[in-house]
Amino acid sequence: MRTTILWLTATLALHAQPTIAPTDEKVGEARGQNIGNYNLVQSWELGYRFHSVGGNEGKYRSDVNYGNGIRLLGSRFSMKSKEGHGSLFDEMTLSTQGLGNDPYEYANLRIAKNRLYRYDMIWRSNEYFNPALAISGGQHGMDTVHRLQDHDFTLLPQSKVRFFAGFSRALQQGPALTTTNLFDGVRGDEFALFANVHRRQNEFRFGNEIRAFGMRLNWMQVFEQYREETPLSLGAPSAGANATDRTRLTSYGSTEPYQGTTPSFRLSLFRERGERWAVNGRFTYSSGNRDFTFSEAAIGVNRFGAAQNRQIAVGGNARRPVTTGNLTLSLFPTTNLTITNHTAYHLTKMEGRSTYTEINNSTLDLTTVNFRYLGIRNISNVTDAHFQIRPWLALRGGYQFSAREIKSVEQVIIEGFPGENRSQQSNRLHAGTAGLRVKPLKTMLLAVDGELGRQDRPFYPTSEKNYEGYSARLQWRPGPFSLSALARVANNSNTTTLFAHSAKSRQYGADASWNPRDWFSLDAGYAKLHAGTVTGLGYFQAAALVTGQQSIFLSNLHSSHLGAHVSLRERIDLYAGFTLSRDAGDPNRSIGTVPAAFAAVQVFPMNFDSPLARLSVKITPKIRWNVGYQYYRYREDLLAVQNYRAHTGYTSVLWTF
């Protein structure tokens, strides 16, 4: 027990670099107020955030996004029945973060009464800002709010017959920028547009679980509804992105009302008693359906200077039924041996029909009916065995076989000229895994794993084909000291007659923490993530096909962190730490014969550093005053206009009782 506590204590010290607020609670163990049959524990942290940015504020908002203003930085509230027999509930817990106007807001509520019901709610909001400078030259910027909520209610949670009901909602809305290509699909010009993003998803679900004969039967019916209306508009007449082109757009408007539902059903049958065997079976079926219409009206001039007055109308629907089944059988022939076999079946069928009508200069130019079918069927079987040879030594091994079939039908019906294109592809994978677990000391665990896989026909040039991966982990936790180390190598070679894709990644890292006293802890870590890929290229340059070149990408990421926590006489808490992330690239790389534009993005030298300090002072037994400061520095070589430095801080009062 003591060892476990020491391990846990050591784990606690392995803090991630925290965001600057809210403050970690330092309020001692036993507290709270007894009111009737309940015990109440609360903490509320109210404060003010401030920030100052030098450099690219858009990039800062994309990466960090903390602003100015008063916030309820964090709160925790719990109310628990002392005898487990409350009148309406036995437990109520609420925790929040960032309420007020932080870019990342979160609330979590649980209300439960033993044996009768349990209700869980999660609400969160993410203020998403992206200037998209590196993607489309800033033409796809977004400033939206994404709000998510999940409600789950369980009736009779501890009984043999349980009932479930739930509701989830996702809402994204806000202004954005986008682009459109007009008047010639492959040689047209791009025009910047405004978009008013509005996406809404609702999900309703209900189900039941029955326990009988040592088995559990669980089913759930879900109805998902999705609706999107994102009208696009042109602010002012535009000459487009291509200055050398005569294409102009004087008027534009488009909208695509898009909605549908995805009812789905899940049936699970499982038994897990830790005896001689366990089984887990699952079947799911969902039938997604979306209806849409699209209307676009554009007036302008094409690249030959001819006046354009074009309307496009599209209507149709898309369906995607998905059927899956899984069966896992676990056997425990002896107390030291576990064998599991898992079989999975996954069938996705996508089919859509859209009628496209283009009216150009008041003339009906083209009406087509597009039909597309894409079917993916995947069958997998995995067998794993784990054998505990000695209390300090265990072996594991496994084998996986997967077979995938992909079929597609594309059909374009132009009046009087129906055409059909059918194709299919099959792919098989054989993979084996092996591992070793050694516990030379009671406080030390060493795990070594390997995997070797072979596929005959992967779908993409960058997919895994002939791959192998090896990893080793060490965990050593002697007393207040804790060390965790990792080394991992993964190689993939996807070679064909013309092109080859080769990917190699190596990851090394170690994290250590030292927690000798309650009032002092120190943690530090370093990770090196190396990735290198070489992929065959085929593209056009001045209408000439270029082959034989390679796309190279090299990343040498060094990430380190250090944090120290000191408490002085249980009155003052000080935390100071930093995180440094640096991609050094590889200045000695072989660039090859690619053009400068390709060579420039073979590496991405970048620094992202963030030191922080936080001070918390106990004013009274129930009140603390906190202040914190965090600095961010971002610098890259590829698009230096994105660089920034930011000072962020907060001061707050934490009230606990």
Partner 1 sequence: MVGSKTLGQAVFWLCCASAWASPQYVGGTACKTCHPNITVDFYRNPHYQSVASGKEKPEDTGCEGCHGPASDHVTAKGDKTKIGAYSAMTPKKVLDSCLRCHAESLGRASIRRSSHSQAQIACNSCHSIHKARSAKYLLASTEQRNLCYGCHGNVRAQFALPSKHRVNEGFMTCSDCHNPHGATAPGTGMGGRPRMMQTALGNEEPCMKCHTDKRGPFTFEHAAGRVDGCSACHVPHGTANAKMLKRPAVFTTCLECHNGLGDFGRQGDGVKLTPSSHNMSDPRFRNCTTCHVRIHGSNSDQRFLR
User: Toward partner 1, which CB reaches closer, 207 or 301?
Assistant: 207
Instruction: Give the nearer residue to partner 1 in terms of CB position, either 87 or 425.
Output: 425
Scored b (16 or more CB within 10 A) or e, 387-403 reads ebeeeeebebebebebe
Cα 390 off chain centre by: 39
**What count of Cα atoms within 13 Å lies in the side-chain half-sphere of residue 344?**
13
Peptide bond into 587 cis (omega under 30): no
Site for partner 1 in 613-632 (CB under 8 A): none
Closer residue to partner 1 in complex, CB, 153/569 = 153
Instruction: For residue 510, state whether it binds partner 1 (rule: CB under 8 A).
Output: yes
The tokens for 395 are: 């072996």
Binding string to partner 1 for residues 428 to 467, with x set by CB under 8 A, is what? -x-x---x-x-------x-x-x-x-x-x-xxxxxxxx--x
Of 46, 99, 374, 413, the residue at the interface with partner 1 (CB under 8 A) is: 374
Residues 264-293 that bind partner 1 (CB under 8 A): 264, 268, 270, 272-274, 278, 280, 282, 284-286, 288-290, 292
Region 556-595 residues binding partner 1, contact defined as CB under 8 A: 557, 559, 561, 579, 581, 583, 595
Closest CA to 469 of 453, 485, 457: 453
Tell me which of 52, 68, 69, 187 binds partner 1, using CB under 8 A. Answer: 187
**H-assigned helices in 583-654:** 596-600
Tell me which of 8, 364, 389, 568 binds partner 1, using CB under 8 A.
8
Q: Would you tell me how many other CB atoms lie within 10 Å of the CB of residue 59?
A: 23
CB-count exposure of residue 575 (10 Å: 0-12, 13-18, 19+): buried
For residues 124 to 163, the per-residue mask of contacts with partner 1, x marking binding by CB under 8 A and - elsewhere, is: x-x---x-xxxxxx-xx-----x-x---------x-----
The answer for 640, left when phi > 0, alpha when psi is -120 to 50, beta otherwise, is: alpha
- CB nearer to partner 1: give 165 or 537: 537
Q: Interaction with partner 1 in 523-562: which residues (CB under 8 A)?
A: 525, 527, 529, 533, 535-543, 545-547, 551, 553, 555, 557, 559, 561
Give min distance, CB of 35 to partner 1, in A: 14
Among residues 111, 190, 614, 650, the one that binds partner 1 under rule CB under 8 A: 190
- Of 414, 180, 189, give the one whose Cα is nearest residue 297: 180
Backbone dihedral angles phi then psi of residue 252, each to the nearest 5 degrees: -155, 145
Amino acid identity of residue 591, one-letter, is I
Stretch of 359-367, 499-507, 616-624, 646-654 contacting partner 1, by CB under 8 A: 499-507
Under rule CB under 8 A, residue 110 binds partner 1: yes
Interacting stretch for partner 1, rule CB under 8 A, among 91-99, 612-620, 622-630, 647-655? Answer: 91-99
Give the torsion sign (CA, 295, 297, 302, 306).
positive
Contact by Cβ (8 Å): 639, 68: no
Which amino acid belongs to residue 536? G
- For partner 1, the binding residue among 27, 46, 406, 564 (CB under 8 A) is 406
Q: State yes or no: residue 85 binds partner 1 (CB under 8 A).
A: yes
The distance of closest approach from Cβ of residue 587 to partner 1 in the complex, given in angstroms and rounded to an integer, is 16
The CA distance from 220 to 206, in Å, is 6
Between 157 and 627, name the residue whose CB sits nearer to partner 1: 157
- Whose Cβ is closer to partner 1: residue 569's or residue 595's? 595
Pick the closer one to partner 1 by CB: 426 or 569: 426
Compute how many residues bind partner 1; rule: CB under 8 A: 221
71, 152, 220, 385, 510 from 263: Cα distances, Å = 40, 18, 11, 37, 46
User: What track of x and - describes contact with partner 1 for positions 289 through 328 (by CB under 8 A)?
Assistant: xx-x-x-x---------------x-x-xxxxx-x-x-x-x
Binding mask 336-365 for partner 1 (x = CB under 8 A): x-x-x-x-x-x-x-x-xxx-x---------
Closest approach of Cβ 516 to partner 1, in Å?
18
Chain centroid offset of residue 332 CA: 35
DSSP line for 463-511 = S-SEEEEEEEEEEE--TTEEEEEEEEEEEEEEE-SS-EEEEEEEEEEEE
**What span, in angstroms and rounded, lies between the C-alpha atoms of 382 and 345?**
12
Q: Does 424 bind partner 1 (CB under 8 A)?
A: yes
Nearer to partner 1, 255 or 309 (CB): 255
Match 């070149």 to its residue by tokens.
Answer: 549
